[in-house]
Structure 1
Amino acid sequence: MTGPLGGLLAAPPQVVAAGVGVFSDALRTQGVSVTDVEWRPPTLGDADDLTVLALDPRRATANRTAVERVLAAGSVLTDVLPAREVLDLPERTLLHSGPPLSWETASGPMRGAFIGACLFEGWADDAAAAERMLAAGEVAFDPCHHHRTVGPMAGVVSPSMWMWCLEDPVHGGRAFSSLNEGLGKVLRMGAYSAEVVDRLHWMTRTLGPVLQRAVRSRAEDPLDVKGVLAQMLQMGDEGHNRNRAGSLMTLRELSPAIVEVDAPASDIGAVLRFIGGNEHFFLNLGMPTAKLAMDAARDVPGSTMVTVLARNGTEFGIQTAGTGGRWFTGPAQTPVGLFLGDYGPDDANPDIGDSAIMETYGVGGFSMAAAPAIVRFVGGTVPDALATTERMYQITLAENPAMAIPVLGFRGAPTGIDVVAVARTGWLPQINTGMAGRVAGTGQVGAGLVQPPPECFTGALAALAAAARAAAV
């Protein structure tokens, strides 16, 4: 052998070993010289906690039960109603995305959305009065997730807002979400100008009632929202930041019923134009669909599956099937991605919104391979999108056959984030998200990619391990 590798086999082998010592010890017993490298795979949390969960005899069965419930869950659209009727909200209560917060801890876009909601409800005459009311504690705050509700970005829901009402025909669960406002300067991005409030009033006065009558007219043949979500993945959407196909399919399904509603032609035309011009219209149907599936897996003792990923612009919170509604939180990270106009990284608020429920369900960032065009909106490359989905298979418990990804040979989407797998690998879930402006009133400044802080998973790992120890006593 000649060339630069010619002497490779001329000398005795030199062995370098990393990881567990059993391999090194076996070689040394055979007289082989071994150089050990002090390296271990990156992990999260306490090693003893991870060991306890890995050996927990309940875990395999519990995770199988949780996964089966998630995969079996369905989602049909049953009604459209004001929040005060379906959520039983007191008049001076606002729901919001993510884990619990206060006015003092609320970020700029969350404060902007709270202000806008007060103006919309008529609780205050101007932004200054609304801010004084909110700072004085005259309005109560509660997470959407505490009311079987999910809201994108700030996710603020007030009593007069109209809500999508969805049901799971398999498990009997119900879930809710507000109607999507569109992109740009909108309440969910923290904007509260007259334009924003006027749009909300039109949605309450016209959009909600028209959609209600259209949806109720289909009571014998309700819209199968899970079916639409499954088709989206085969048409270039990933179900979080890209909803073009899903919004168009929803328009196709609802438009015959909409045009038959007994309302002024101008109102019907305005509703159809609004839906047709709103590429994210379906997002607020996809989110409660994912919520229904993940809620079906709540309260399964011993399960290490994540049931909630949610952010309020200050903190990121997760919940798991084995710990019910308990929150595990850490500081929200700022997304990295592409910006609109002259905006840049300094303009972006940390991660915000309940829309990461889509990733919890296995779509969104977990199904980027189904929507390579998404990289033009959130950044990265097509190979990055494919690699992201491949990596997410390593931290999930199942593949969802209903959510097939064409480019991967119709392999099911990676579904059911496993706290143990995240801790073992050190790989955090990937989320596609919009970016709201840091300053209240700004609106959307871009879109990008973000991950949860590791503290969420180390906290969940410790709590799950404590429950496993208690169960073993």
Structure 2
Amino acid sequence: MTLGGLLSAPPAIVAAGAAVFSDALRAQGAAVHDVDWRPPGFGDPADLAALALDRRRDAANRVAVERILAAGSQLVDVRPAREVIGLADRTLLHSGPPLTWEAASGPMRGALIGACLFEGWASDVEEAEILLSSGAITLEPCHHHRTVGPMAGVTSPSMWMWCLRDPVHGGQAFCNLNEGLGKVLRMGAFDAQVQTRLAWMRDVLGPVLSKAVRGSIDAGNDPLDVKGVLAQMLQMGDEGHNRNRAGSLMTLRDLSPAIVSTDAPSSDIAAVLRFIGGNEHFFLNLGMPTAKLAMDAARDVPGSSMVTVMSRNGTEFGIQTAGTGDRWFTGPANTPVGLFLGNYGPDDANPDIGDSAIMETYGVGGFSMAAAPAIVRFVGGTVPDALATTERMYQLTLAENPAMAIPILGFRGSPTGIDVLKVARTGWLPQINTGMAGRIAGTGQVGAGLVQPPQVCFENALAALAEDARAA
């Protein structure tokens, strides 16, 4: 057919992929023929069969899902890390699976150096590097301490932490306080500006928030329902990972009466309110432990193929599953693709980093992009891409979370509970939207974008789950 002949008759359209495209064409009166095509799956056929035929799997996954959906999240305290998780001197937490100084990326090294300077363990960068390279500083993953941290996730003993509790299962989860955007410790920056901000957060922000949170509860008020805030955010254009505007404003609204009632100097109260009001990502560090609480509730369910952790340290990406407990399945972290700040470009970006993919593990963030179409202006892509991404994630998950409803999809619950078996069968990998740190220590944030886990993480998890199924 000639090019001109294409318009001589009604078009015949063959569609493969997300149903949202076919539905949109049919709404315009076009005839569409759907083809059930998807990328080829992966994994050893014997492993796929063993897991698929595991008699425990369906019941175990139902238990895991029920625990996630039932989990709650209340803000009950703000305290220094040394008090709340017993973080010892000369110990630093970091994001992702276990890591050594030798394997650490630029932004991770920058954040570790900055934390050593902040704690006074080193007087300059060179001294900090000597301490870290000698093994004098112990490095441990945040996840090993019921904790999560965005980007580098570095948490030191003097840093104040949000303390959240699950009133249903009794679990606890923790996260440090959000510094804001730009040149910040979590992005690998450690200069004088970063140190000054961290000192203010230690001396002013943390104590004021602690007095406000504990004072409000002591006065007989209910703790802040953080899960409720997260649910409302999705109704207001946030997706809970890279867009937290509504959530941060709601948190400011809910905490402000208690903040202004503290006995802190008025100048400190004003500075705290200004800081929260100017920090669009303030809520992220509350949302992450909320997701952590839910996913921890589903740990240690024999036979379950559901993912409970997705996390990255800037070098490796790691996942854990409900059926394999604390065991990590790792692979080389991919580099996000997206939009860059200023004159930065792809060569400036470090591979994927941060515990914040716990949001996608819970079913928000990149899984709920349909709730926040404006996110594409920050991470790239188009509005149809955002809608199609959420539609595709339903194919990888075990349930829909009714508490996290997506308005544009008729208030359908967000796709929740990533299933290793479904990922392997479809060949599709979970979608994460994330910030990008500069690959050179000290740079800070260079952009934001989209990324997926390495396939090998799921291949290894599949093999382990299949081995367990054969032994059961």
Normalised by the size of structure 2, how large is the TM-score?
A: 0.91
Structure 2 match to 1:131: 129
State the SS of the aligned residue for 1:166: strand
Structure 2 match to 1:364: 365
Question: Which residue type is aligned with residue 390 of structure 1?
Answer: E
Cα deviations by residue, 1:218-261 (Å, 9 ceiling, x for unpaired): 21311000000000000000000000000000000000100011
Alpha-carbon distance in 1 for matches of 2:283, 2:289: 11
2:353 is equivalent to residue 352 of structure 1: yes
2:288 is equivalent to residue 287 of structure 1: yes
Alpha-carbon distance in 2 for matches of 1:462, 1:221: 45
Question: Which residue type is aligned with residue 428 of structure 1?
Answer: L
Q: Does the 8 A contact of 2:216 with 2:258 survive in 1?
A: yes
2:41 is equivalent to residue 43 of structure 1: yes
State the SS of the aligned residue for 1:218: helix
Cα deviations by residue, 1:253-298 (Å, 9 ceiling, x for unpaired): 0001000110111000000000000000000000000000000000
2:108 is equivalent to residue 107 of structure 1: no
1:182-197 matched pairs, under 5 angstroms:
182-197=180-195
Structure 2 match to 1:249: 250
Alpha-carbon distance in 2 for matches of 1:334, 1:40: 24
2:410 is equivalent to residue 409 of structure 1: yes
Question: Which residue type is aligned with residue 65 of structure 2?
Answer: V
Structure 1 match to 2:227: 226
Q: Does the 8 A contact of 1:44 with 1:457 survive in 2?
A: no
Q: Does the 8 A contact of 1:398 with 1:416 survive in 2?
A: yes
2:442 is equivalent to residue 446 of structure 1: no
Alpha-carbon distance in 2 for matches of 1:174, 1:137: 30
Kindly report structure 1 stretches of 4+ aligned residues shifted beyond 4 Å: none
Alpha-carbon distance in 1 for matches of 2:85, 2:196: 24
Q: Does the 8 A contact of 2:239 with 2:368 survive in 1?
A: yes
Alpha-carbon distance in 1 for matches of 2:309, 2:38: 30
Q: CA RMSD in A?
A: 1.1
2:70 is equivalent to residue 72 of structure 1: yes
1:72-471 matched pairs, under 5 angstroms:
72-219=70-217, 220-471=221-472
Q: Does the 8 A contact of 2:337 with 2:449 survive in 1?
A: yes
Deviation, 1:55, is 0.7
Alpha-carbon distance in 2 for matches of 1:41, 1:428: 10
Question: Which residue type is aligned with residue 143 of structure 1?
Answer: P
State the SS of the aligned residue for 1:171: coil
State the SS of the aligned residue for 1:217: helix
Q: Does the 8 A contact of 1:300 with 1:322 survive in 2?
A: yes
Structure 2 match to 1:7: none
Structure 2 match to 1:62: 60
Q: Does the 8 A contact of 2:38 with 2:426 survive in 1?
A: no
Structure 1: segments with no counterpart, 5+ residues: 5-38
Alpha-carbon distance in 1 for matches of 2:39, 2:291: 32
Alpha-carbon distance in 1 for matches of 2:165, 2:208: 20
Deviation, 1:41, is 5.4
State the SS of the aligned residue for 2:400: strand
Cα deviations by residue, 1:161-215 (Å, 9 ceiling, x for unpaired): 0000000000000000000000000000000001101100000000000000100
Alpha-carbon distance in 1 for matches of 2:39, 2:114: 48
Q: Does the 8 A contact of 1:243 with 1:281 survive in 2?
A: yes
Structure 2: segments with no counterpart, 5+ residues: 3-36
Alpha-carbon distance in 2 for matches of 1:303, 1:189: 35
Deviation, 1:379, is 0.0
State the SS of the aligned residue for 1:154: coil
Question: Which residue type is aligned with residue 76 of structure 1?
Answer: Q
Alpha-carbon distance in 2 for matches of 1:218, 1:71: 27
Alpha-carbon distance in 2 for matches of 1:125, 1:59: 54
Cα deviations by residue, 1:275-325 (Å, 9 ceiling, x for unpaired): 000000000000000000000000000000000000000000000000000
Structure 2 match to 1:24: none
Q: Does the 8 A contact of 1:173 with 1:292 survive in 2?
A: yes
Alpha-carbon distance in 1 for matches of 2:77, 2:185: 23
Cα deviations by residue, 1:92-132 (Å, 9 ceiling, x for unpaired): 00000000010000000000000000000000001111111
Structure 2 match to 1:15: none
State the SS of the aligned residue for 1:56: coil
Q: Does the 8 A contact of 1:368 with 1:388 survive in 2?
A: yes
Q: Does the 8 A contact of 1:118 with 1:130 survive in 2?
A: yes
State the SS of the aligned residue for 1:245: helix
Normalised by the size of structure 1, how large is the TM-score?
A: 0.91
Cα deviations by residue, 1:430-456 (Å, 9 ceiling, x for unpaired): 000000000000000000000000000
Alpha-carbon distance in 1 for matches of 2:344, 2:39: 38
Q: Does the 8 A contact of 1:71 with 1:400 survive in 2?
A: yes
Q: Tell me the percent identity.
A: 82
Alpha-carbon distance in 1 for matches of 2:262, 2:415: 40
Question: Which residue type is aligned with residue 456 of structure 2?
Answer: E
Q: Does the 8 A contact of 1:395 with 1:422 survive in 2?
A: yes
Deviation, 1:330, is 0.3
Question: Which residue type is aligned with residue 159 of structure 1?
Answer: P
Alpha-carbon distance in 1 for matches of 2:317, 2:307: 13
Alignment length (residue pairs): 435
Deviation, 1:40, is 9.3
State the SS of the aligned residue for 1:45: coil
Deviation, 1:45, is 1.4
Alpha-carbon distance in 1 for matches of 2:115, 2:264: 27
